[in-house]
A and B are shown apart, each in its own frame.
Chain A
C-alpha cells in the first residue's frame, strides 16, 4: 500500500515538476550526447547519467579523470570528451590542466567502449590569472575547433584544437575573452559566435544565484559583446536563464540541435525544490530572437487553445457551434438602456453543450477561437509513458472530458476516448521561433515520423514536419477565462 501511495505521489510530483525524472542528479553536465539511441551526460567528479529517452535519467555513464565540468562533442563517428583534471579554486589552488580523450561509443556496456589516452591541451599555473577548468568546445562551420575554459579567478580563455586529433593546434596562443563567469560554452548561429558563461554564486543549494549569460561576436576569438554592447571581458552578459519555477541556479550551458528549428539546451539547476534541493539536470527548449538565444520552458500542464500559425484559427472538435443566448453587440443596441450597469456574462460551459456532441470518435478541425468548450484542450503530461528530451509525452483532451486527440490509421486526427495508446500520446517541442511542433508518439499503420500540420486554414492532418512552413507550427495559449466551469 505504501508503495502504491509512493508511486502515486511520485507520479503527481513528476507531472507537476516539469523536470527530468528518475535520478537526474548531476552538477556541471556536459552537452547531452546521443549515442546509439541513448542519451549521455558527464558531470563534475567523474561519472555521469544515461537516459533511454532523454526524459528519464539514471546514473551509469562512465568518464575517467575526475575533475570539474567536462564537455563532449561528436566528431565523425567518435566522441571527444574534454575535462579539467582539477577542481579549480575549490581544490585549494588554481593550477590546472585540461585534457581531451576519444571514445567510439559512450555505452559502457559496448565492447567498443574504450577511452584513448588523455591529451593535455591547455593549463594554468598557480600564479596565473586563469583557472584551467570548465572546458566548453565548438566545432565551427569552417571545420576549426575551439575550446573555452576558465572560472571567476581571472580570465575565460579560448584556444584552438585539432578536430582530427583533439590536440592543441601547434603554435596557437590562448586569448582572454571574458571575466566574471565560469562553465563557459561556445556556439554558432546565423553568422554569430556566442560565448555562454555561468555567472553568480555556485554550489550553495537553494541560495545559489547561478545564472547563464551570453555575449556574441562575429569572430570566434571575440570580442564578445552583450546586448548593450558591453564586452564580456568587462563583465558583460545578457542573461539567458536563472532561477524560475521551483528551480534555482542555472549553470553550465550545453546546446543540442536536433534538426532545423528544433533545438534544446542542457544545464543544471543548483537546487530543485521538488527534489529536496538537489542539483539536477535540466533540458529546455532553445529559441532565437533577433539572433539572441532565448530559453524556453518545459511545457506545463494546463488548458490551452491550440492556435495554428498558418491562419490563427484554433484546433477544435468538429461539432455544431451552439450559439449563446446572451446576445449583446450591435444587435443589442436597440431598446437598450445604457444607463443601467452592465453585467458580466458567463462563458458557455461544457454542461450547456456536451449533450449536442456526437458520441464516439469525432473529427477535428480548425476554426475561429470563441472560448467554447470544444476548443479548450487540457494538455497533461503522462510521465509514466516516457518522454523526450524536455518534456514527458502528453495527452491532449477536451477539457472536462476523456475525448483525446488521436492519430488514426488514415494519418488524420480525431478525438476518441482516452486509452493511453501511443497514438493518443503527443510529443510537444517548442521550436526556435517560439511556436510548437506537436507529434503523435505513433501513428497506426506507419513508421513515418509525422506531425500535426495544417492542410488548409480549417483542416488539420498529419504530415511531414517542415520548419520552413507555418503549416507545421502551432501556438499554445493558456486558457484563463475566469469562467465558472
Chain B
C-alpha cells in the first residue's frame, strides 16, 4: 500500500517516522524524504476552518469540508466550501498523479451551475485569500529541491533537525525554505519561507496535533506573512482516517450535489 501523499500542509507535517536508520547518519535529503514518504493511511476526511487576519486585526473566516483518497497512482481530493455565504456550495476537485503528470483541477460554481476545468499552472496563487499558496498546500517532491542539514536545535523542548531546501527551479516563488523537523517523529514543527530576494517572507508554526487512528495529525497551524503582517490560522476538526471513502465521491456528480 502506497503512502497517502495528502495535499494539505497540515498533513505533510504530521508524518510519523518508524525508520531504523540512525539519526546521526541522515543527510538533509534523507530527512526530507522520510517526511515525504511517511505512511498516513488510504483516505481522510475533515472539516477545515481558515481564519484570515490582516494587519489591522480584521478577521475573515473560510470553512470547507474535504475528502482525500489515494489508490497508489492517483490522489484525488474534493473540497466543499461551506462559508462564507457567497462561496457556499462551491466545490473544487484535484487529481494529482504519482508519475509527475500535472494535476487536473475542476471547480463547480453553484451560481453558474457549471463545472469548469481550470489550469493547474497556478501554484503561486493564494488559496482562498489565505497566506498559503496552492504550492504550500501541495506535496512537493524532495527531488525538486537541494537539501542541506544546517544544524540540530531544540524548539519548545522538541529536538529538531533544521534543513535548508533550495529549489532547483530558479523561477520558483521562494528562494529557499528552512524546516524544523521533530527528530523523533519526523513531523514538521516550523518552516520559514524566503522570497526571491532572499528576505524572510513567511513563517509557519504548528500549534497543536492529535493522534488519530494511530497517525499524528496536526490540527492547528499558523502561517504568518512577515512582510505584510497578515496571518492565517488553519484548524482541522472531525478528522477521519481510513474510513473507506469510495472513488465515487470524486466525481462530477458529487461536485454538483455537494456534501
Do A and B originate from a single complex?
Answer: no
B-to-A contact residues, CB < 8 Å? none
A-to-B contact residues, CB < 8 Å? none
